Amino acid sequence: MRFARVQFMLPLPEPFDYAIPEGLHVEPGQVVRAPLGPTDRMGVVWDIGEEPDGERELKELFSTYPSPGLSQPFRDFISWSARYTCANPGAVLRMVLRSPSSLVPSKTELVVLPGQAEQPGRLTPARQRVLEFVEQAMPMTQAELAREVGVSTSVVKGLIDLGCLQTDLRQVDPPYRLPDPEREGFELTDEQASAADHLKGKVRNGGFSVSLIDGVTGSGKTEVYFEAIAEALRQDEHSQVLILLPEIALTQAIMKRFENRFGAQPTEWHSGLSDAERRRAWREVAHGRARIVVGARSALFLPFPNLRLAIVDEEHDGSYKQEDGVVYHARNLCIARGRFEGFATVLASATPALESLSNARAGRFDYLRLAARPGASRLPDVDLIDMRQHAPDKGDWLSPVLTRELAGTLANGEQSLLFLNRRGYAPLVLCKACGEKLKTPGTENWLTEHRYTGRLVCHLTGFSMRRPDACPKCGARDSLMGVGPGIERVAEEVRRKLPEARLELLSSDTVQSGDDIRALIMRMEQGEIDILIGTQMIAKGHNFPGLTLVGVVDADASLKGGDLRAGERTFQLLSQVAGRAGRAEKLGRALLQTYDPEAPLMQALAHTDRDSFLDCEEEMRMVMGMPPHGRLAALILSFPDEMEAARLGREIGMAAPNAEGVEVWGPAPAPIAVLRGRWRWRFLVRSDLGVDLSAYMAAWRKTLKLPAQARLQIDVDPYSFL
Ligand code: ADP
């Protein structure tokens, strides 16, 4: 007897077995419905087994969906990802499968088009309006047409009956327009051409490979991988390409570049899509008809049947790490998928992650360097402003040097960008009367003052309250003051010093939707803004032709967190920000305000000497056995009671298995010690490279018997240490 092993999108330990009813054709990988408990659910046939005697009483599958199944290598990738991230396979599958509506063909609807017949005998004004409108409008339904023109549907129906209009069946979710690989790109420089040739070769040969394009901002990394995309599209008429971008970089500007290059908009995939767009994209990908997909990290789990090439742009970017649910790093999993499905993977960055660079230097990845910026554009000069010598006036945050440069840039009719990675007005609110620091109730987290909204907000927990008139502790009135700078405060200072400048703020508080961001970016591109002040949202991907000055208000800020990657991350962020300046013909300049100009990181930035900085970092990691010279995983316990959380933490620590080459540190209170009423304890586990750390973590978790209210999260390759 043949039976199907069905994996559900539920936290079940393994697939369930089902009998295959007579007459139902079932293939491995197919999406099916099967009875489970009191209802029936969607799942995937993980494989099909054969039982000689068929003695077991198995429930029968209900039905299959008419969508292409998930291939064996893709299913293997899903199983592997679950194992690697210590997640449940059902949880990973939930990231793959979407609503049932994407598994059935698109609905169709009747639309109205101009008809064959001549004008009707009796041409009423209403009829005339309809006929004129239809000549120029996109096809639409009768009801839509009647509404648009402002006539009753009977007028439209009458014209159809007369043959002056005709109807046609149209898909509600039509396929995407197909890209054309033969359109000409730029004429590449020698350096670009040789990188492009290398990638084209990898695509043509087929099979798994990883290449790292390490190229300064503006060196044409995008143009180079466009060539690889064109080559992949030429391979056969169904080949598909995936481009992953950090969520924030999915702007219309990059979509436009794709459209210009390939003559059709690529398929988009990110959190801002409507359900209908999602359904359409998923279905078209699954059928192999969406050929270029540009998406945020979750696009990695789309069911491509024929992926030939995947590109991870800005591969060092922190937003590739998903921290909730299945905790994964999209760059790392993309490489893994490439290995299972046998496609070429390309990582691109101006500031590659130490891990990637180390892999490239060791020859595990192909290493392509782009050192030059084509055309007139040059990397900006980076200068440090020693804040001990050029102290700002009392209560200000911009040194006289930076202020002068801003004024000069404005006078030249050029644009400036000020970067400060702190949202709101002030990161701390203090009572002048009693010294109380306002915190989120029950935690040690400071509240940030937001003048824009008049609220105090905790950026870690999301807690927020109206700014009180009196100190909650001592009751003194008008005694609260904001301490330290946020971008709203810097904006206030700029407004005071340069009142004539057209100033805008960009942070997640000041712009809510993707459309708002796009509108603001567009205005900056078109020179309608003189000074843009923003958080890291402005660091990435945008190309502002008129921007010649970048000012970093507090270059030391992100070093203060002090985790493993603080130095690397600061370097990446600041060189990205600096790289915004001077992308067109005009020369750019970046000024970094720092209290520690001698620090190796600041020196490396000032001398654009990335490699010696990274050598230093890498040596340190090697000595400490840290990634990429060792492995890390974290285990986070949270529990709603403080004492019990501490006790459970100790108990979990005692249960850590002994293993060669593994060190367990903790339990320690997490830096965010209380989150949404739960006390948090952390373990950090380091192992040598040869150790299967995922297996170690899973084995540890298995030994634990915890109360139902306890939550455990395992984070393999942690990036956040909060
Ligand atoms: P990166 O991705 O490395 O930051 P881009 O591919 O975005 O660089 O290129 C930066 C700018 O230079 C873009 O406007 C691009 O169109 C232009 N550019 C890149 N290569 C060439 C070339 N060979 N000829 C002309 N313009 C180019």
The predicted structure's pLDDT at residue 541: 60
Give the pLDDT band (50/70/90) at residue 248.
Answer: low
Ligand 1 pocket check for 81: Cβ under 6 Å: no
Give me ligand 1 centre to Cα 558, in Å.
30
Q: What is the β-pairing status of strands 321-322 and 328-329?
A: antiparallel
Report the predicted TM-score, pTM, of the whole model to 2 decimal places. Answer: 0.85
> In sequence order, which residues have a C-beta less than 8 Å from that of residue 251 and are 6 or more positions away?
517, 518, 521, 541, 542
Task: Write the residue with the smallest CA distance to atom 25 of ligand 1.
Answer: 186
Q: Which of 81-90, 304-313, 481-490 has the lowest mean pLDDT?
A: 481-490
Q: Are residues 162 and 288 in the same domain?
A: no
pLDDT tens, residue by residue, 520-540 = 888 998 999 999 998 877 776
Ligand 1 pocket check for 579: Cβ under 6 Å: no
CB 481 within 8 A of CB 427: no
Give me ligand 1 centre to Cα 225, in Å.
11
Look at residues 585, 618, 651 and tell me which one is the last residue of a structural domain: 618
* 17 vs 35: CA distance, rounded Å: 11
Residue 673 pLDDT > 70, yes or no?
yes
Q: List the CATH number of the domain containing 705.
A: 3.30.70.600
Ligand 1 pocket check for 188: Cβ under 6 Å: yes
Q: What is the mean pLDDT of residues 498-504?
A: 95
Q: Are residues 654 and 505 in the same domain?
A: no
Residue 657 pLDDT > 80, yes or no?
yes
Q: List the CATH number of the domain containing 75.
A: 3.40.1440.60
Look at residues 97, 125, 142 and tell me which one is the last residue of a structural domain: 97
Task: Write the residue with the smallest CA distance to atom 6 of ligand 1.
Answer: 220
pLDDT tens, residue by residue, 89-99 = 999 999 999 78
Average pLDDT, the chain: 90
Ligand 1 pocket check for 189: Cβ under 6 Å: yes
Give me ligand 1 centre to Cα 603, in Å.
28
Q: Which of 162-171, 172-181, 458-467, 470-479 has the lowest mean pLDDT?
A: 458-467
Ligand 1 pocket check for 576: Cβ under 6 Å: no
Residue 262 pLDDT > 70, yes or no?
yes
Q: Are residues 308 and 398 in the same domain?
A: no
Asked, for residue 710, whether it belongs to a domain, the answer is yes
Residue 378 pLDDT > 70, yes or no?
no
Ligand 1 pocket check for 369: Cβ under 6 Å: no
Give me ligand 1 centre to Cα 219, in Å.
6
Q: Are residues 243 and 389 in the same domain?
A: no
Give me ligand 1 centre to Cα 189, in Å.
10
Instruction: Tell me the three state secondary structure of residue 299.
Output: helix
Q: Which residue has the higher pLDDT, 108 or 79?
A: 79
Q: Are residues 309 and 403 in the same domain?
A: no
Whole-number percent of the chain with pLDDT over 70: 98
Q: Are residues 363 and 409 in the same domain?
A: no
Domain that holds residue 232: 190-370
The predicted structure's pLDDT at residue 271: 86
* 7 vs 76: CA distance, rounded Å: 12
Q: List the CATH number of the domain containing 167.
A: 1.10.10
Q: Are residues 394 and 364 in the same domain?
A: no
Look at residues 344, 370, 396 and tell me which one is the last residue of a structural domain: 370
Q: Which of 192, 217, 222, 577 for mutating ligand 1's site (highest number of atoms within 8 Å of CB)?
A: 222
Give me ligand 1 centre to Cα 336, in Å.
29
pLDDT tens, residue by residue, 334-347 = 999 999 999 999 99
Give the pLDDT band (50/70/90) at residue 585.
Answer: low
Residue 446 pLDDT > 90, yes or no?
no
Asked, for residue 704, whether it belongs to a domain, the answer is yes
Residue 146 pLDDT > 70, yes or no?
yes
Q: Which residue has the higher pLDDT, 370 or 540?
A: 370
Q: Which residue has the higher pLDDT, 673 or 663?
A: 663
Give me ligand 1 centre to Cα 708, in Å.
55
Ligand 1 pocket check for 349: Cβ under 6 Å: no
> In sequence order, which residues have a C-beta less than 8 Å from that of residue 692 and are 6 or more positions away?
none
Task: Write the residue with the smallest CA distance to atom 10 of ligand 1.
Answer: 218
The predicted structure's pLDDT at residue 502: 96
Ligand 1 pocket check for 186: Cβ under 6 Å: yes
Give the pLDDT band (50/70/90) at residue 108.
Answer: confident
* 483 vs 582: CA distance, rounded Å: 34
Asked, for residue 58, whether it belongs to a domain, the answer is yes
The predicted structure's pLDDT at residue 640: 94
Q: List the CATH number of the domain containing 390.
A: 3.40.50.300
Q: Are residues 403 and 542 in the same domain?
A: yes
Show the CA angle centred on residue 67, arms to residues 66 and 68, nearest 5°. 125
Give the pLDDT band (50/70/90) at residue 583.
Answer: low
> In sequence order, which residues have a C-beta less than 8 Å from that of residue 238 and are 6 or more positions away?
288, 291, 305, 306
* 657 vs 697: CA distance, rounded Å: 9
Asked, for residue 466, whether it belongs to a domain, the answer is no
Q: Which residue has the higher pLDDT, 562 or 658?
A: 658
Residue 376 pLDDT > 60, yes or no?
no
Number of domains in the chain: 5
Q: What is the mean pLDDT of residues 469-490?
A: 91
Task: Write the residue with the smallest CA distance to atom 23 of ligand 1.
Answer: 188
Closest among 85, 151, 139 to 111, alpha carbons compared: 139
The predicted structure's pLDDT at residue 373: 75
pLDDT tens, residue by residue, 18-53 = 999 989 999 999 999 999 989 999 999 999 998 877
Asked, for residue 292, whether it belongs to a domain, the answer is yes
Q: Are residues 272 and 353 in the same domain?
A: yes
Give me ligand 1 centre to Cα 637, in Å.
47
* 433 vs 243: CA distance, rounded Å: 55
The predicted structure's pLDDT at residue 584: 59
Task: Write the residue with the smallest CA distance to atom 9 of ligand 1.
Answer: 220
Ligand 1 pocket check for 665: Cβ under 6 Å: no
Residue 200 pLDDT > 90, yes or no?
yes
Asked, for residue 461, whether it belongs to a domain, the answer is no
Give me ligand 1 centre to Cα 571, in Å.
23
Give me ligand 1 centre to Cα 565, in Å.
29
Q: Are residues 256 and 342 in the same domain?
A: yes
Q: Kindly give the number of the ligand 1 atom that is closest to the alpha carbon of 219.
A: 3
Q: Are residues 309 and 226 in the same domain?
A: yes
Give me ligand 1 centre to Cα 221, in Å.
7
Closest among 105, 674, 91 to 328, alpha carbons compared: 91
Ligand 1 pocket check for 193: Cβ under 6 Å: no
Q: Kindly give the number of the ligand 1 atom that is closest to the alpha carbon of 217.
A: 4
Please tell me which of 147-151, 370-374, 405-409 the model is most confident about, judged by mean pLDDT.
405-409
Give me ligand 1 centre to Cα 373, in Å.
8
Give me ligand 1 centre to Cα 242, in Å.
20
Q: Are residues 238 and 277 in the same domain?
A: yes
Ligand 1 pocket check for 415: Cβ under 6 Å: no
Q: What is the mean pLDDT of residues 212-238?
A: 93
Q: What is the mean pLDDT of residues 380-403?
A: 92
Asked, for residue 178, whether it belongs to a domain, the answer is no
What count of other Cβ atoms lies within 10 Å of the Cβ of residue 590? 28
Asked, for residue 472, whether it belongs to a domain, the answer is no
